[in-house]
Structure 1
């Protein structure tokens, strides 16, 4: 009978080999959600007479108020039928593509509200100061509004990104293979023998990745603070 150390030694290389795929399922939705979330945020801080305000508000409420796993299943089973109805065949798309689409939509809504909170917390005096020194609206956004909003929202963005990294573990439910998908496959092949040690190994790898991500965000926060102090 295998010892725990032997079980870990067998599955650990495979788990490590699936780290790049896991990071891909985290990185792409994170980048896409930042841009889409910024657009949703813009609509949310616009006038309520703007139809986009209500469309985005309802969409955000839906994605924030329904389980992420349900959204993944809706995209996985529903999107191919929707695209097929307009004349395109996406049968060659992998499960990972649907996972990225679903998580991008979900994360964008949370990102939008996080950015909106940062925007509403802005010191309006700084915005007016930017305009008073000759910045146009675009320059004021790039040099004043965006940096200040990100600074205020950075802590919440860090929490969202850590949650997103952990949530890649549900990708296996639609057949996308990452760390948890590989661990689940190993458990099935071994008929459940040593499943606690396999899951524990996967958990440690997730923990290390999340810890590294937290350190990166903390360093970014300190760098922004030092930059602001030097600019004063």
Structure 2
């Protein structure tokens, strides 16, 4: 069976590696943008927008991700239908990306908010006192300090998102695990443990690469901080 894995099963599984990476990268980019906007609202005044964002964040942080995926998959077409739009023919992966991006953005928001609140207020005031305007102060003082505090949690979030792509098959979006389950089903369970073990190794390698990437980014931020300290 091990030789069959390398010559037959592995290439078939790796065909869906791009789909897995797509279901990880696209929600991550969208969530970073949306999470930053949510963070800006959450650290601002306690107006109606603040409370709406708070409820939104609480919902997505307080309910299971798989439930959110089903809600988006089955509920979004009904919402669009109210406006005369039919999205039933959308690829299931689109619904998975939307649900994952919404979920992740809430966790990124709270991670960035924690990082922002951890920034020394004196450093922010110092930046303004040396002539930085608000945008320059954000770029050179607030953002680097926030990311320095938040980078560890961001790494953990990205690893979790990559692993959670394995549930995309539940709504018909085929990725690595979905392709493996199809192969196992076609072989009537033959070699199931070998195939699942192979999938585990693939995810382990991908998560290890994320670890390395964030470690390099963290070291780069430390060098940047020392340079401009």
TM score, norm. by length of structure 2: 0.97
Contact 1:8 1:197 survives alignment (8 Å): no
- Unaligned stretches of 5+ in structure 2? none
Residue 59 of structure 2 is matched in structure 1 by 62
Cα RMSD between the aligned structures?
Answer: 1.1
1:5 and 1:184 map into 2 onto residues whose CA distance is 19
Alignment pair present for 1:43 and 2:41? yes
- 1:198 to partner: Cα distance: 0.8
Partner of 1:33: 31
Check conservation: 1:8, 1:198, Cα contact below 8 A. Answer: no
**Which residue is equivalent to 1:213?**
210
CA 1:231–1:143: 2 relative to 1, 3 Å: closer
Are 1:8 and 1:201, in contact at CA under 8 Å, matched by a contact in 2? no
Number of matched pairs: 229
Partner of 1:20: 18
C-alpha displacement of 1:206: 0.4
Of residues 75, 85, 97, the one that matches 2:72 is 75
Say which is worse superposed, 82-91 or 137-146, in terms of deviation. Answer: 137-146
Tell me if the contact between 2:144 and 2:221 (Cα under 8 Å) persists in the aligned partners.
Answer: no
Q: 1:117 aligns with which of 114, 125, 146?
A: 114
Tell whether the 8 Å contact from 2:128 to 2:134 is kept in structure 1 after alignment.
Answer: yes
Q: Paired residue for 1:135? A: 132
**Distance across 1 between alignment mates of 2:193 and 2:75:** 35
Secondary structure in structure 1 of the residue aligned to 2:174: coil
**Alignment TM-score, normalising by the size of structure 1:** 0.95
Q: How far apart are the structure 1 equivalents of 2:220 and 2:138?
A: 21
The farther-off stretch of 86-95 and 99-108 is 86-95
